[in-house]
Structures are given as C-alpha cells and as structure tokens.
A and B are shown apart, each in its own frame.
Chain A
C-alpha cells in the first residue's frame, strides 16, 4: 500500500501570513495532484505535477514536486480567508491508482 502523509493536519493562521504544507511518502509517484475541498462540496483539482523538481504556480499558491518524486509541498503567500479549506494530495503510483492523503485543514482568519 502506498501511503501519503500530509502535515500539518490542522493549521490556523491570520490573513496575510505565509505558510507551507507537506505531502510525503516513501513511494515514488509518476504524478501528484493537489485538490482543495470546501465544506459541503467535492474536491477540486488545483494542479498536477509530473516531473521531479517541478514547480508550478497558481496565483499565490506554489507547488513543488520533490526531486525523487516521493514528496510535494504547497506554499501559500499572503493567505486570504478564501484559501480556507481542506487540501488533499493524491499520488499516482505503480498500481496505477490514485492514493489520497488524509488532508490538511487550513483556516485563515480575517
């Protein structure tokens, strides 16, 4: 079983702060996806990273795939209340299935 561990599990910060959260595994993934889920809704894809070392930016969000394709990070600059939600990472592994982490609950206070 390929496990993805996300940290921290919960994060509460003030509007305007920067933060970095992590998605780690001992397994190699061919690609890794990040989703955001808001209360009462299904997860929505933010980004897919494929190449080791790849960095992708989505406005104030910066995603990085580890060189060995075993881990990823998400950095948010100047967080806003609209960034509040559950952030899920999902890795595509050797079994050709997506494995999800348990997610990081982010709360951004105005």
Chain B
C-alpha cells in the first residue's frame, strides 16, 4: 500500500484566499483524522471520521474550517477565508481503530501571508 497520501505538500497563499487540503487514506481503514501541528500547540486533533461520517469536530477552530469525506478514499479540509494564524503543518492520518495505530501522511505545510 502507498500509505496515506496528502496534497499539496506545500501551499503559500495570501490572507483571505480559500485553501483546500486533500487526503487519500489507506484502503480498508475505517477512521480518518485531520491534525494540525505548530511549535506552540503541538499536534491538535481537528476532526475525525468513521466510515466517512464526521464523528467529532470539536477541535475545528472556527467556522472558517470545514472538512468532508465524500467516500472512503478521499477527504478534504477547507479553510475559507484563510488567515496568517492558520499557518501550520496539517496532517491526515488513518487507522483501523479509533485509538489504534495512526498512519500519518507526510503533511501539508500551509503558509498564509
């Protein structure tokens, strides 16, 4: 298996622009997680899905953030409008179990100017 695939690897955008991050989980994994990593706050769970259904989005910072999982092989995290404080590395991870081993993608590094 190719592992969790994220795109883009790097994104530089200007404040106010829409950003869409994409993730392809490992086939057969029932859980998909979106995390954000910064030096100050470490790894923060934003939202997770089980069988394509959003289960817990309590970590989503505000209404500017939204996530979808239209099918078992694809998820998006959208930020609209983006702000400089959204600059971070965003990770997608998938897993067989809710608290089982997480398989992370390589991350999408977002810089909002």
A interface residues, Cβ below 8 angstroms from B? 30-31, 33, 35, 40-45, 48, 88, 90, 92, 96-98, 100-103
Collect the chain B residues with CB atoms within 8 Å of residue A40's CB. 106-107
Chain B interface size band reads: 10 to 19
Q: Is B25 an interface residue (CB 8 A)?
A: no
Q: CA of A98 to CA of B45 in the docked complex: distance in angstroms? A: 9
Q: Is B91 an interface residue (CB 8 A)?
A: yes
* Minimum distance in angstroms from A59 CB to a CB of chain B: 19
Q: Is B32 an interface residue (CB 8 A)?
A: no
A97's partner among B43, B98, B104 (CB-CB below 8 A) is B98
Please list 6 pairs of residues, one from A and one from B, whose beta carbons are closer than 8 Å in the complex, sorted by A's number: A31-B99, A33-B101, A44-B104, A97-B48, A102-B42, A103-B43
Q: CA of A56 to CA of B62 in the docked complex: distance in angstroms? A: 40
Q: CA of A97 to CA of B9 in the docked complex: distance in angstroms? A: 27
Task: Take A41-B107, A42-B91 as given contacts and tell me if A103 and B42 are in contact as well, using a CB distance cutoff of 8 Å.
Answer: yes
A98's partner among B42, B91, B99, B107 (CB-CB below 8 A) is B99
Q: In the complex, which residues 88-113 of chain B have their Cβ closer than 8 Å to any Cβ of chain A?
A: 91, 93, 98-99, 101-102, 104-107
Of all chain B residues, which has the CB nearest A41? Answer: B106
Q: CA of A102 to CA of B39 in the docked complex: distance in angstroms? A: 8
Q: CA of A49 to CA of B89 in the docked complex: distance in angstroms? A: 28
Q: Is B56 an interface residue (CB 8 A)?
A: yes
A48's partner among B42, B98, B101, B104 (CB-CB below 8 A) is B101
Task: Take A98-B45, A100-B43, A101-B42 as given contacts and tell me if A42 and B101 are in contact as well, using a CB distance cutoff of 8 Å.
Answer: no
Q: Is B4 an interface residue (CB 8 A)?
A: yes
- Tell me whether A45 and B91 are in contact (CB under 8 A): no
- Tell me whether A30 and B99 are in contact (CB under 8 A): yes
A42's partner among B42, B45, B98, B105 (CB-CB below 8 A) is B105
* Minimum distance in angstroms from A62 CB to a CB of chain B: 20
Collect the chain B residues with CB atoms within 8 Å of residue A90's CB. 102
- Tell me whether B102 and A43 are in contact (CB under 8 A): yes
